[in-house]
Amino acid sequence: MKEETLESAAPQKKRRYIGEAVRRAEDIQLLDGRGGFLADLATPDTAEVCIVRSTHAHAIVHAIRKERALASPGVIAVLTANDLDFVDDKLPCVDMIPGTLDVRHRIIARDRVRYAGQAVALVVAANRYLAEDAAALVEIDYEVLPAVLDHKAAIEPGASLLYPELGTNVVYQVRQRDGNPDFVPEQGDIVLRKRFEFHRQTAVPLESRGVIAKVIDNGERLHVGSCTQLPQVLRATIVNALGLDPRQVRVTAPRLGGGFGCKEMVYPEELLLPVVARKLNRPVRWLEDRRESFAATTHAREETIDAELVVTKDGEATGLRLRGCCSIGAAFGFVGNTPITAMGAMVRGPYAIPNLDSDLCSVVTNKTPLNVLRGAGAPQATIVIERLLDEAARILKIDRAEIRRRNLIQPDELPLDRGATEFAGAYHVIYDEADYPRCLEEALCVANYKTFESERRVALESGKLLGLGITMYVEITAVGPYETSRVALRTDGSVLLYSSILPVGQGSETTQRQCIAEELGIEIDQVSVRQGDTDEVPDGIGTFASRGAAAGGAAGRTAARALVQQILEAFAAEFSCDPAALRWEGGGIIVPDSSEFIALAEVPGKLAQLRGTSDLVAFEAKSRIEIPKPSFSYATHIAIVEIDPETGRISIPRYVVTHDCGRIINPMLVDGQIVGGAVQGIGEVLRENLVYSPDGNLQTCAMMDYVLPGVSDAPREFIITHMETPTGFNPFGVRGVGEGGTIGAFGAMACAVADALRDYEIGVEGSGPFTPSWVLEVLNRPQTNATATNGS
Amino acid sequence: MIQTGGEYDFSCWEGSDEPRAELEVTVNGKRIQTAVPVRLLLSDFLRDHLGLTALKVSCGEGACGTCTVIIDGEAARSCTLLAVQTDGSEIVTLEGLNHGADSNNLRRLFQEHHALQCGYCTPGWLISAHCMIERRIDPHSDEAGGYLSGHLCRCTGYKNICSAIHEALLLANTAAAGEKE
């Protein structure tokens, strides 16, 4: 039986887009090579900028001589800090939590450089070739100072100081506690102690950064195009730095060729180019080349964590203690302290572990500033907790899955306040609805966990070492504090969404169109999206922290509801009835006591007709939703790795993810995020590594040296299963999905590699990287009798 | 700078006594004769001076494959070649690929398999996939692996790209087998 027989006026076809694998409309342009990335934009009469960067990690700048550079062909200007005026030359840091020492990044070095790659001067020339020629002729007198490269040494007394006026290299300390932080082991407990080293990495979006700046509107305004995840924040920073009125600045962010967090930053070039465009009164462009990208785009992950886990003889983990420090580089990134606050806040994942005592600090070093990278501090956290649980299981002779079962938070214990505050400066971590035990069991089943040991024995016969790693995590997503949206019904009957969520590859155009089409009950083709222009969306938070679909989607749907309400009120006024008497269904208005149905596209004309005018009527509704509590996604990752002892190469025959991101908007895109995120994480632990020379110059500044995962590194079989537990913390039940793949891959891979090498002493724990040469070195060590090792 | 009209223009080199050399190439079927700065990279010539921006520059050293174009029938990196090195060659970029059945199938399959996210690497993959189809390469062969391993993607994790290209090859190879019968 049809439910809608009474509403026969409405179209019978039920519109349903949420949950559908809707193909991406944005693919069409991208597949035609018309992606419209920043470097693709036509820029006639635009001069090119080349940044002169510090060649020393730590030095005093005594003099800069630019005469030879100025005489070079095609040069328009050579500028240093002395030529450029800023009202405020500090770049924003969003997590400068109270108690943090101010080491915000300065736009351009004045008298001291603190990392190799820091901007010291810039050359403007007719093209990039000529600009580079001249940049090589800028002469800088440096007085080289000792470089502080090792964060552990940086906190020792007598260490050289990056900021002598602060008297310390420790710029932030965070203590996160839950339960009884003074816990001690009880009779019969075991205590595991491990040091974890996490190596320095970087995002390497295939599109590096770029900025175009020009003066527009007869010199009244500035237009800045930038590869940024944060156009609204950038606009505010430009306004501040240049002392302008907000109306004088328009920032546009075109489609991004990947971001992964490194474009969640306001960079020096984004302030330098606008000031130069104004000073020279001509358009200027800077495109980052790959070499400078490695040194000048933010890094991530580097930290050392000493962990202590107390476990009862039955395998119940009762207390976790962390001490450690993070090498944040020479100054704050936009997100400087979150790597350590995320570690303390999220390290226990879905495991109860009632007592937490985490005391971590951010340390400045003469390296490129640290920022978030897909997963923030959470990927490292999975390695800490999962390796400790594996070790406890080995010592207590408890099955690895079983020890996890015994520690999981149960569904009826949720929501649960996890105590550890200070995360991202504001959030109290309160887990929402979830079923962690089911998430574990489902993944174990799909991964053939029960028969893995026999699979391993078979592989051993052909000389291959198999290893299995289990990781579970809980990921903070959809962070606030708020998000805005604007939905317009235009006079031609089409719907336009203005969104502050940017296209970075995640498919936000499509998911947001799905949300609006679902909410209005119309065809998705009727909805288009505009993103990334601060003239159109002056206020908004932006695209990071797995928040686009949940926060942006909710804001869009809320605006769409407000749009419907406006339309109903307008018609009610014409019909002289209560708006509540009109119903919105099937993509239009059902007029009571008549067979009339007014489809959304007909609204502008119908309303004009009712009003007896020829002026078609447009509508526009805005929303601003507050997001007081983030929601949490979670998953189980199981990696099965295979080591070839001949070559030391690690490959991945099978990788399993059981994932819960709440209500799924588009399963195709969710799976795409999970696989892509996992392979990024796999690459980070197998290959990627930023290496500095002893004097502090980056040695890995090309893709030939900093090796990204390729086709042959991807798992040969990748299986994803979904749970779909709506969260009560989001009005539409949606949790975020962008980062989880990377988070889980860290723990799963580290555990799987350790398991494959179970008969060997693997040495220092952490993120590796587990390169072939590392594997061969481990295999050449004398075999241990693994069961005899005492971890306490 | 990127020219607006797609016409080549070297005004941004004016005022420098940059050594130049004569270059005669065919790009997407159009014959081009001009004197280019000797050190001008092919990728910059195509993007900045001809406005053919489908190809992307990412690593600048031939490691990532985003700048791939077809030179004399074979996929090649445009970021590690000087424009003058291609004198006498025939160059095809993504803009010049005909919208024939193979090409359209490839695009459709990339969309259906969700084989692109940010899309920055996509033009490079399409060029190589096009060459693979032209050569009727067996998707399971080492040669296919060779083509695929020449490209990096930072978003997708490769799974969907490989399945899209495999299907495109199977379709093309089946169609070719059908024509023979």
Structure tokens at A627: 């997001």
Interface test with B, best of A29, A70, A127 (most B CBs within 10 A): A127
**How far is Cα A186 from Cα A775, in angstroms, rounded to an integer?**
38
Distance from CA of A642 to the nearest CA of B (A): 19
Q: Which fold has domain A5-35+480-626?
A: Aldehyde Oxidoreductase; domain 4 (3.30.365)
- Residue B15 touches partner A, C-beta closer than 8 Å: yes
Shared domain for B15 and B92, answered yes or no, is yes
Taking a C-beta distance cutoff of 8 angstroms, is the pair A53, A296 a contact? yes
**How far is Cα A56 from Cα A473, in angstroms, rounded to an integer?**
40
Structure tokens at A183: 């816990």
Mind listing the pLDDT tens digit for each residue in A41-58? 988 889 999 999 999 999
Shared domain for B106 and B83, answered yes or no, is no
Residues from chain B contacting residue A506 (CB–CB below 8 Å): 117
Q: What is the pLDDT of residue A481?
A: 82
Radius of gyration of chain B (CA): 17
- Average pLDDT value for residue range B18-23: 94
CATH of the domain at B115: 1.10.150.120
Mind listing the pLDDT tens digit for each residue in A643-661? 999 999 999 999 999 999 9
Shared domain for B105 and B170, answered yes or no, is yes
Residue where the block lists tokens 């490079």: B124
- Residue A254 touches partner B, C-beta closer than 8 Å: no
Asked if the structure places residue B1 within a domain, the reply is no
Residue of A35, A41, A675 lying closest to B2 (CB–CB): A41
Shared domain for B57 and B70, answered yes or no, is yes
Mind listing the pLDDT tens digit for each residue in A766-782? 999 999 999 999 999 88
**How far is Cα A504 from Cα B155, in angstroms, rounded to an integer?**
10
Asked if the structure places residue B6 within a domain, the reply is no
Structure tokens at A744: 């889980």
- Residue B140 touches partner A, C-beta closer than 8 Å: no
Interface test with A, best of B118, B126, B160 (most A CBs within 10 A): B118
Q: Which residues contact B71 (CB under 8 A, 6 or more apart)?
A: B81, B86, B89, B90, B91
Structure tokens at B155: 């978003």
Tell me the torsion sign for CA atoms A261, A266, A269, A270: positive
Using CB atoms within 10 Å of the CB of residue A602, give its burial: 0 to 12 exposed, 13 to 18 middle, 19+ buried.
middle
**Structural domain count, chain B:** 2
Taking a C-beta distance cutoff of 8 angstroms, is the pair B65, B129 a contact? no
Q: What is the pLDDT of residue A546?
A: 74
Residues from chain B contacting residue A507 (CB–CB below 8 Å): 117
Beta pairing class for A190-198 and A597-599 = unpaired
Taking a C-beta distance cutoff of 8 angstroms, is the pair B58, B66 a contact? yes
Q: What is the pLDDT of residue A606?
A: 95
Shared domain for B16 and B90, answered yes or no, is yes
* Residue A407 vs residues A318, A350, A401, A451: alpha-carbon distances, Å: 9, 8, 10, 23
- Assess whether pLDDT exceeds 80 at residue B86: yes
Task: Give the nearest chain A residue to B152 (CA atoms).
Answer: A710
**Percent with pLDDT over 90 in chain A:** 85
Residue where the block lists tokens 């890995």: A700
Residues from chain B contacting residue A710 (CB–CB below 8 Å): 149, 152, 158
How many residues in total does chain A contain? 792
Shared domain for B106 and B92, answered yes or no, is no
Residues from chain A contacting residue B2 (CB–CB below 8 Å): 39-43
Q: What are phi and psi of A211, to 5 degrees?
A: -140, 140
Taking a C-beta distance cutoff of 8 angstroms, is the pair A126, B15 a contact? yes
Interface contact B119-A43, CB threshold 8 A: no
- Residue A71 touches partner B, C-beta closer than 8 Å: no
Which class is domain A299-479+629-786?
A: alpha beta
Residue where the block lists tokens 């009571």: A592
Interface contact B120-A207, CB threshold 8 A: yes
User: With helix as H, strand as E and coil as C, how does A127-140 read?
Assistant: CHHHHHHHHCCCEE
Interface contact A31-B151, CB threshold 8 A: no
Report long-range pairs for A244-247 (Cβ below 8 Å, ≥24 apart).
A246/A538, A247/A221
CATH of the domain at B81: 3.10.20.30
Q: Which residues contact A791 (CB under 8 A, 6 or more apart)?
A: A190, A192, A193, A391, A392, A394, A395
**How far is Cα A407 from Cα A351, in angstroms, rounded to an integer?**
5
Interface contact B145-A712, CB threshold 8 A: yes
Taking a C-beta distance cutoff of 8 angstroms, is the pair A738, A678 a contact? no
Per-residue confidence band for A501, with pLDDT thresholds at 50, 70 and 90? confident
Per-residue confidence band for A421, with pLDDT thresholds at 50, 70 and 90? low
Mind listing the pLDDT tens digit for each residue in A390-402? 999 999 999 999 9
- Residue B30 touches partner A, C-beta closer than 8 Å: no
User: With helix as H, strand as E and coil as C, how does A104-157 read?
Assistant: ECECCCCCEECCCCCEEEEEEECCHHHHHHHHCCCEEEEEECCCCCCHHHHCCC
Distance from CA of B174 to the nearest CA of A (A): 24
Asked if the structure places residue B28 within a domain, the reply is yes
User: Is A39-145+208-255+263-296 in the same CATH topology as A5-35+480-626?
Assistant: no
Asked if the structure places residue B2 within a domain, the reply is no
Residue of B40, B119, B154 lying closest to A35 (CB–CB): B119
Distance from CA of B89 to the nearest CA of A (A): 22
Mind listing the pLDDT tens digit for each residue in A181-228? 999 999 999 999 999 999 999 999 999 999 999 999 999 999 999 999
Shared domain for B16 and B92, answered yes or no, is yes
Crossing angle for the helix pair B122-134 and B159-180, nearest 10 degrees? 30
- Residue A719 touches partner B, C-beta closer than 8 Å: no
Residues from chain B contacting residue A41 (CB–CB below 8 Å): 2
Mind listing the pLDDT tens digit for each residue in A98-125? 889 999 999 999 999 999 999 999 999 9
Q: Which residues contact A368 (CB under 8 A, 6 or more apart)?
A: A115, A117, A295, A296, A297, A298, A299, A329, A330, A698
Q: What residue ranges do the domains of chain A occupy?
A: 5-35+480-626, 39-145+208-255+263-296, 299-479+629-786
- Name the β-bridge partners of B77: B68
Interface contact B59-A41, CB threshold 8 A: no
Shared domain for B135 and B161, answered yes or no, is yes
Taking a C-beta distance cutoff of 8 angstroms, is the pair A734, A549 a contact? yes
Last residue of a domain, one of B65, B80, B96: B96
Last residue of a domain, one of B48, B76, B96: B96
Residues from chain B contacting residue A289 (CB–CB below 8 Å): 60
Q: Is A358 left (phi over 0), alpha (psi -120 to 50) or beta?
A: beta
Shared domain for B37 and B84, answered yes or no, is yes
Mind listing the pLDDT tens digit for each residue in A141-181? 999 999 999 999 999 999 999 999 999 999 999 999 999 99
Distance from CA of B61 to the nearest CA of A (A): 8
Task: Give the nearest chain A residue to B93 (CA atoms).
Answer: A33
- Residue A445 touches partner B, C-beta closer than 8 Å: no
Interface contact A126-B14, CB threshold 8 A: yes
Interface contact A505-B119, CB threshold 8 A: yes
E-assigned strand segments in A426-552:
430-431, 465-477, 482-489, 495-499, 527-531
Range of the structural domain that residue B22 is part of: 11-96
Interface contact B157-A679, CB threshold 8 A: yes
Task: Tell whether omega for the bond before A769 is within 30 degrees of 0, i.e. cis.
Answer: yes
Residue where the block lists tokens 């005469």: A67
Mind listing the pLDDT tens digit for each residue in A51-98? 999 999 999 999 999 999 999 999 999 999 999 999 999 999 998 888
Q: In whole angstroms, what separates CA A65 from the centre of its chain?
A: 40
- Assess whether pLDDT exceeds 70 at residue A451: yes
Interface contact A27-B18, CB threshold 8 A: no
CB neighbours of residue A379 within 10 Å: 37
Residues from chain B contacting residue A711 (CB–CB below 8 Å): 145, 148-149, 151, 158, 162
Task: Give the nearest chain A residue to B106 (CA atoms).
Answer: A31
Shared domain for B105 and B73, answered yes or no, is no
Structure tokens at A313: 């003889």
Residue where the block lists tokens 């309303």: A607
The answer for B 90-119 residues in CB contact with A (under 8 A) is: 93-95, 107, 110-112, 114, 116-119
**How far is Cα A222 from Cα A524, in angstroms, rounded to an integer?**
35
Interface test with A, best of B2, B20, B44, B120 (most A CBs within 10 A): B120
**How far is Cα B67 from Cα B76, in angstroms, rounded to an integer?**
8
Taking a C-beta distance cutoff of 8 angstroms, is the pair A526, A495 a contact? yes
Shared domain for B70 and B109, answered yes or no, is no
Residues from chain B contacting residue A127 (CB–CB below 8 Å): 1, 12-13, 48
**How far is Cα A681 from Cα A740, in angstroms, rounded to an integer?**
10
Task: Give the nearest chain A residue to B144 (CA atoms).
Answer: A711
E-assigned strand segments in chain B:
20-27, 30-37, 68-71, 74-77, 90-92
Radius of gyration of chain A (CA): 28
Shared domain for B15 and B87, answered yes or no, is yes
Mind listing the pLDDT tens digit for each residue in B123-163? 999 999 999 999 999 999 999 999 999 999 999 999 999 99
**Percent with pLDDT over 90 in chain B:** 81
Beta pairing class for A416-417 and A430-431 = antiparallel
Structure tokens at A353: 């572990």
Distance from CA of B173 to the nearest CA of A (A): 22
CATH number 1.10.540.10 given to A39-145+208-255+263-296: no
- Residue B56 touches partner A, C-beta closer than 8 Å: yes
